[in-house]
Amino acid sequence: MSRRRTFVIGAWLGAVALAALIAVDARYLTDLSAFLPEHPTPAQRLLIDQLRTGPGSRLLLVALQGGDARARAGVSIGMARRLRADPEFSRVENGEELAAERDRAFLFEHRYLLSEAVTPEHFSVVGLRAALSDTVADLASPGGLALAPLAARDPTGEMLRIVDRLSRLRRPRTEDGVWVSADGARTLLVAETAAEGSDTDADERAIAAIRAAFDAARRESPGSAALDLVMSGPGVFAVDSRARIERAVVRLSIASSALVIAVLLAAYRSPAALLLGLLPVATGALAGVAAVARGFGAVHGITLGFGITLIGEAVDYSIYFFIQSMRGAPAAEPGVAPWERRLWPTLRLGMLTSVCGFSTLLAAGFPGLAQLGAYSISGLLAAAAVTRFVLPELVPRGFAVRDLGPAGARIERRLGAVRRAGSAALWTGALALACLALIVLFRARAGLWARELSSLSPIPMAAQKLYERLRGDLGAPDSLDLVVVTGDTQEAVLRGAERAAGALEPLIDRHVIGGFDSPANYLPSLAVQAARRASLPPPDVLGPDLERAARGLALDAGRLTPFLSDVEAARRSSLLTERDLQGTSLAAGLHALMLRQSGRWSALLPLYAPAGAAPRIDLARVGAALAAAGAGDARLVDLKRESDALYAAYLHEALRASLAGLLAIVVLLALALRSLTRAAHVLAPLGLAVLVVAAALALCKVPLTLLHLVGMLLIVAVGSNYALFFDARQAGDGQSALTLASLCLANLCTVIAFGLLCLSQVPVLEALGTTVAPGAFLALLFAALLTPRAGRGAGVERHA
């Protein structure tokens, strides 16, 4: 006995120490990847790259609001000056014309490589004459005086063409020298962090730097006291959701632990029992973290949030153990034989039922759910093992908790009053309730499930809306339609982008699209640059041709020698590479539209919706145009549809997994209870609880997400314990009052743990809480009312 005790406790302490070591050493992730798939399709990969490390993920969108426009502009300029000096940021833009002079000089110097008009025909006598005539007309126009200085060097108007093309891309409105929203109410600034988009610590520093710059700039700008700083962007989301998840995990864990402890203390009236009772939960939580850390390499913060759910179920085990096994245990009676014989099989079956349910999550296609499964399974196994083997060894001789028999008897009497209606009446009522719930669900079927990936996001809806608004203010593409060209080299994808652009260009005139951007706008492919350079004629050809072309025009060919020498310089120049763009805003434009992931390059060509009538782009026509132009390597990606398809796939998978889990539970129960009827009696109250909760959520217009589904699985997992105990009681164990008392206490703890999740500001945790808290309560109530009673109901249920 003593050796066994030493062994058991030693083994347990060893396991706890090992788990603690693993948990301390584990890597914890707080980014959004818990809900992104592990094996994405190419389009999904792009989406994920965009979300996690894409150029967009490094952007912090800043808006100043309140006060007057001039004060906002002053603060914007002051902030930008400070942030540009900060190495945390690779780029800060607020509409100030800082890079403009450098940009203009760069564009002008390289105009013959950058202008799409440069072809051999353009430099023939006919082409030159047409271009020169245009320039004369330009010079006659009101802006002519400003153009005149350029005309001698650029009489074919390449610079104007390039500037025109670039200025066609949407930019925010400028007022008082800085960007403002279309309605002028907000002053805008964009900062790009130097660190990777997935570096949440760097994001946090960047956000702090922006706040500090705002405060400092405000101090030196008079009349700026009324100004407000608003920030959004993936970095802000990452920092916010990390903080929110941490806060939720820490605060809610503490709060639910405290409440559960208070409840248990009130019930047991014994601090020793309380401490012992928490051992299974604590061991389970540690084991869960360790298992996830070992199995997945890293633990998602949100998994720890889900871990609270473990408190809800694992604490039940010790409650059952203490209340039911300790009942009147005479000090003299050695060992825990009755507990092992009577209670443990039921508890074990309940635990196995839960494990069955959770095991289906293990196969889930994204880590958030799989980790929840692994965490729960290992946690429950550990907690049950500690309850079964360790607790009996630790309980001191003569230890007893308060007898909850009288309390149980009181509840029993209350229930009895309802039960007197008769089993048939109760079952009819249950059936009616189920039908009602089904009708509600059927009527709400169209909007029953959330269809968008964003519903899984730990980012609150208001923050997502703010992001959309700021993006709109900044003139970001309002649709999420992209043409993507993927290839092995930057040159290959730039050429692909140019081919795609050739197909897209005509669609602008036909109002299929409003416009598009392309990395090749900023850096043409080497092939295109080389072709343009090759179409520039040598001086002995260009000189006489120019003479002939200008004949009869107002332009004086004799004054165009600067043009001749510029063309000659361009003919001898080297082609532009990414490096040459450094220091100009073109580099930012290029980087925003080029992705490099594991050796593959992608060029992104965002499409703008046409102005006016059609708000959505007719993607079929865009796809047809791309195919017709032989731009076969260009793929049309609708990010919104792609992300929603991703979510639909999750949902589908989760539904299938849940059904499989349910089936596994049915089989397990039928085998263990050796009766389909008994299994049905155990499952009926749980099914009813799930239906009623789903119907209630539908009535409250809460679109159901994956997490609600997981919550329903949890209702079955937790509720199966209740139903099994009622079933066991019916099958011959007469301690009804005590069983009922322990179940009510366990249920109270579960409802507390999950009920607190409703208060968390992390939408996914909230969804879990709102499903399980009422569901667990209903499961107990229905199980208590519907389980046939020994000797009273029709005898057919007795098979054991």
Partner 1 sequence: MSRLPLMALLPLLWVSLGAASAGAGDLDAVMSLLAAHRHARVDFVEQHFLAVLKRPVESFGIMTYDAPGRLEKRTVEPRIESLVLDGGTLTIERGGHTRTVDLASHPQILPFVESLRATLAGDRAALERAFRVEFAGTVARWTLTLTPDDPGIARTVARVRIEGSRDDLLTVEILEVDGDRSLMTLRDHQGS
Interface residues with partner 1 (CB under 8 A)? 95-97, 136-137, 139-146, 148-149, 151-152, 155, 164, 167-168, 173-178, 554-556, 559-560
Q: How far is the CB of 587 from partner 1 (least distance, A)?
A: 21
CA distances from 770 to 355, 439, 696, 755, 775 (A): 22, 21, 10, 7, 8
Closest to 749 (Cα-Cα) out of 287, 351, 269, 320 = 320
Neighbours of 511 (CB within 10 A): 13
d(CA 342, CA 329) in angstroms, rounded, equals 14
Q: At what angle do helices 344-362 and 706-730 cross, to 10 degrees?
A: 160
Q: How far is the CB of 155 from partner 1 (least distance, A)?
A: 8
Q: How far is the CB of 86 from partner 1 (least distance, A)?
A: 23
Among residues 174 and 359, whose Cβ is nearest to partner 1? Answer: 174
DSSP code string of 428-450: HHHHHHHHHHHHHHHHTGGGSB-
Q: How far is the CB of 177 from partner 1 (least distance, A)?
A: 4
Closest to 233 (Cα-Cα) out of 88, 450, 63 = 63
Q: How far is the CB of 298 from partner 1 (least distance, A)?
A: 47
92: which strand partners? 191
Among residues 135 and 721, whose Cβ is nearest to partner 1? Answer: 135
d(CA 73, CA 76) in angstroms, rounded, equals 5
Among residues 173 and 571, whose Cβ is nearest to partner 1? Answer: 173
Q: How far is the CB of 307 from partner 1 (least distance, A)?
A: 54
d(CA 689, CA 277) in angstroms, rounded, equals 28
Q: How far is the CB of 556 from partner 1 (least distance, A)?
A: 5
CA distances from 75 to 84, 187, 434 (A): 14, 9, 61
Among residues 25 and 509, whose Cβ is nearest to partner 1? Answer: 509
Q: How far is the CB of 98 from partner 1 (least distance, A)?
A: 10
d(CA 631, CA 314) in angstroms, rounded, equals 59
Closest to 755 (Cα-Cα) out of 771, 731, 743, 742 = 771
Among residues 133 and 464, whose Cβ is nearest to partner 1? Answer: 133
Closest to 232 (Cα-Cα) out of 473, 556, 21 = 473
The residue type of 688 is: L
Among residues 141 and 577, whose Cβ is nearest to partner 1? Answer: 141
Among residues 228 and 556, whose Cβ is nearest to partner 1? Answer: 556
Specify the 3-state DSSP secondary structure of 189. Answer: strand
Among residues 119 and 141, whose Cβ is nearest to partner 1? Answer: 141
> CA angle 348-341-662, nearest 5°?
25
d(CA 264, CA 271) in angstroms, rounded, equals 9
Among residues 148 and 431, whose Cβ is nearest to partner 1? Answer: 148
d(CA 789, CA 731) in angstroms, rounded, equals 9
When computed from its CA atoms, the radius of gyration of the chain, rounded to whole angstroms, is 35
Q: How far is the CB of 141 from partner 1 (least distance, A)?
A: 5
CA diameter of the chain: 124
Among residues 240 and 545, whose Cβ is nearest to partner 1? Answer: 545
Q: How far is the CB of 692 from partner 1 (least distance, A)?
A: 58
